[in-house]
Amino acid sequence: MTASLPTHVEAASPHVMNTYGRLPIALSHGQGCRVWDVNGKSYLDALGGIAVNTLGHNHPELVPALQDQLTKLIHCSNYYHVPLQETLAAKLVELSGLENVFFCSTGLEANEAALKLARKFGHDKGIDFPETVVFETAFHGRSIATLSATGNPKVQAHFGPLVEGFIRVPINNIDALKRATAGNPNVVAVFVEAIQGEGGVHPMNDGYLRELREVCDANDWLLMIDEVQCGMGRTGKWFAHQWSGIKPDVMPLAKGLGSGVPIGAVVTGPKAAHIFQPGNHGTTFGGNPLAMRAGVETIRIMEKDALLLNAATVGEHLRSAFVRELQGLPGIKDIRGRGLMLGIELSVPCAELVTRSADNGLLISVTADRVIRLVPSLIMTTVEADEVVAILAPLIKQLLQEKAPA
Ligand SMILES: *Cc1c(COP(=O)(O)O)cnc(C)c1O
């Protein structure tokens, strides 16, 4: 391959800002669900770039399509119409049953737009101090507004003063939400992940999402469902909330939508589709032809190859294999999730599993200190899922013997 690429890993980079706890691994290329580091060691990828690489690596249809787009137009700004925006927006509207779409480039940017929509929705109704209901253990991003909406003190530490206008409640408890908002005329929206990702893979119950829909309808609030991580087919439906049968008013998307090309989107229903007028919101990169092509091709290939069905069946295969291996062992608190979004919660911190797995040729993540999170590409096969279990289950058992002996 390219001889000028670095083939070693610096302990710490003198030039890249030190914002991540990185593994001492530098990846060079990938194929499907497998990646290779610069030393030639191969890994099975059960992280998928944090739920981003929907089609795995070096997909035989995505790559030529992107190459074609590169030669045509990468970027041109939103001073002009971008026909691929219309194509992708129409597809997202069809899949969601909603009305229109705003394009941006990342998850936090999609959520920032959602929060602005909620505020203008309030101001348009004469509410001068609009407030949005958010959740414990939520994660919505790292901008000042989205970290204020996030329910993790570690994300917020050092960055106060936080943005005002949030009411925080526990998940899956409609009475707590009703108590926290009772008699408050300033509430404009409820903002919730259908399955919390970074916070530890916590699914909202289907019944709870239906209760949220009812409460929002009864009070004329926007229901805004952050599908940045759990959306785009990962759970076996296009969007995780669709298991509950409801529709949101606002749905931020990002991670998996472009199979690795940065892209974000806010899909809105009738109640939110016309809040923004020209001049209210915008972004330079959002909706550029390369990102739009990535989104269009990702969805086309997902439909053609029935990847929702694959996510559901391989995800269930993976989940039940871990249940067989681990359920009932001391130290195993819960095995949860849907489709290819799986969380295994231990009773002890388990960050060292990330390194041990990598040493054994498997990429995973640990979130919320004790939750092993698996969010692989939606092309993963049952054979590869079995390999994930064969590598990871013994490492979990070994860790529990060290830290939580029976
Ligand atoms: C990752 C994530 C975000 C933030 O996305 P970025 O692209 O990192 O800004 C927001 N919400 C959820 C649910 C996420 O998982």
Q: Say how many C-beta atoms besides its own lie within 10 A of residue 385's C-beta.
A: 26
3-state SS assignment for residue 226: strand
Is 296 known as a binding-site position?
no
Please tell me the predicted confidence (pLDDT) of residue 404: 76
How much distance in Å is there from the Cα of 43 to the middle of ligand 1? 25
Domain boundaries, the chain: 27-58+306-402, 73-304
Probe ligand 1: pick from 140, 192, 235, 341, max atoms within 8 Å of CB?
140
Q: Can you tell me the distance from the alpha carbon of 303 to that of 128, in angstroms, rounded to the nearest whole number?
A: 44
The total number of residues shown for the chain amounts to 406
Residue 214 tokens read as: 């009812």
Domain covering 73-304: architecture: 3-Layer(aba) Sandwich (3.40)
Residue 144 tokens read as: 């000042």
3-state SS assignment for residue 395: helix
Overall pTM surpassing 0.85 (yes/no): yes
Tell me which residues have their CB closer than 6 angstroms to ligand 1. Answer: 106-108, 111, 139-141, 193, 197-198, 226, 228-229, 254-255
Q: Can you tell me the distance from the alpha carbon of 24 to that of 39, in angstroms, rounded to the nearest whole number?
A: 12
Please tell me the predicted confidence (pLDDT) of residue 16: 92
| Digit-coded pLDDT (tens) for 158-208 | 999 999 999 999 999 999 999 999 999 999 999 999 999 999 999 999 999
- Residues 135-153, buried b or exposed e (16+ Cβ, 10 A)? bebbbbbebebbbbbbbbe
- DSSP code, position 57: B
Q: Can you tell me the distance from the alpha carbon of 300 to that of 120, in angstroms, rounded to the nearest whole number?
A: 34
- DSSP H stretches of helix in 157-248: 174-181, 206-219
| Digit-coded pLDDT (tens) for 236-254 | 999 999 999 999 999 999 9
CATH topology of domain 27-58+306-402: Aspartate Aminotransferase, domain 1 (3.90.1150)
Please tell me the predicted confidence (pLDDT) of residue 12: 73
How much distance in Å is there from the Cα of 195 to the middle of ligand 1? 12
Residue 27: CB partners within 8 Å, gap ≥ 6? 35, 36, 37, 38, 43
Please report, in tens digits, the pLDDT of each residue of the chain (406 residues total). 444 556 667 667 889 999 998 999 999 999 999 999 999 999 999 999 999 999 999 999 999 999 999 999 999 999 999 999 999 999 999 999 999 999 999 999 999 999 999 999 999 999 999 999 999 999 999 999 999 999 999 999 999 999 999 999 999 999 999 999 999 999 999 999 999 999 999 999 999 999 999 999 999 999 999 999 999 999 999 999 999 999 999 999 999 999 999 999 999 999 999 999 999 999 999 999 999 999 999 999 999 999 999 999 999 999 999 999 999 999 999 999 999 999 999 999 999 999 999 999 999 999 999 999 999 999 999 999 999 999 999 999 999 999 977 7
Q: Can you tell me the distance from the alpha carbon of 230 to that of 343, in angstroms, rounded to the nearest whole number?
A: 12
Contact between 350 and 372 (Cβ < 8 Å) = yes
Q: Can you tell me the distance from the alpha carbon of 269 to that of 113, in angstroms, rounded to the nearest whole number?
A: 14
Probe ligand 1: pick from 50, 139, 261, max atoms within 8 Å of CB?
139
- Please identify, by atom number, the ligand 1 atom nearest to the C-alpha of residue 108: 9
Please tell me the predicted confidence (pLDDT) of residue 7: 60
Q: Can you tell me the distance from the alpha carbon of 31 to that of 75, in angstroms, rounded to the nearest whole number?
A: 27
Tokens 């590598």: give the residue.
Answer: 391
Residue 207: CB partners within 8 Å, gap ≥ 6? 244
- Containing 104, the helix (H) or strand (E) segment is strand 100-104
Please tell me the predicted confidence (pLDDT) of residue 81: 97
Q: In what order do the strands lie in the sheet with 362-363?
A: 27-31, 34-37, 42-45, 362-363
Active site positions, annotated = 139, 226, 255
- CA 298, 299, 304, 305 torsion-angle sign: positive
Q: Can you tell me the distance from the alpha carbon of 261 to that of 38, in angstroms, rounded to the nearest whole number?
A: 22
- Containing 91, the helix (H) or strand (E) segment is helix 83-96
Q: Can you tell me the distance from the alpha carbon of 147 to that of 143, in angstroms, rounded to the nearest whole number?
A: 6
How much distance in Å is there from the Cα of 140 to the middle of ligand 1? 6
Is 191 known as a binding-site position?
no
Cis preceding linkage at 161, omega within 30:
yes
Q: Can you tell me the distance from the alpha carbon of 201 to that of 121, in angstroms, rounded to the nearest whole number?
A: 30
Contact between 30 and 56 (Cβ < 8 Å) = yes
Specify which residues 34 forms β-bridges with. 31, 44
Please tell me the predicted confidence (pLDDT) of residue 10: 67
Q: Can you tell me the distance from the alpha carbon of 215 to that of 56, in angstroms, rounded to the nearest whole number?
A: 39
Contact between 210 and 194 (Cβ < 8 Å) = no
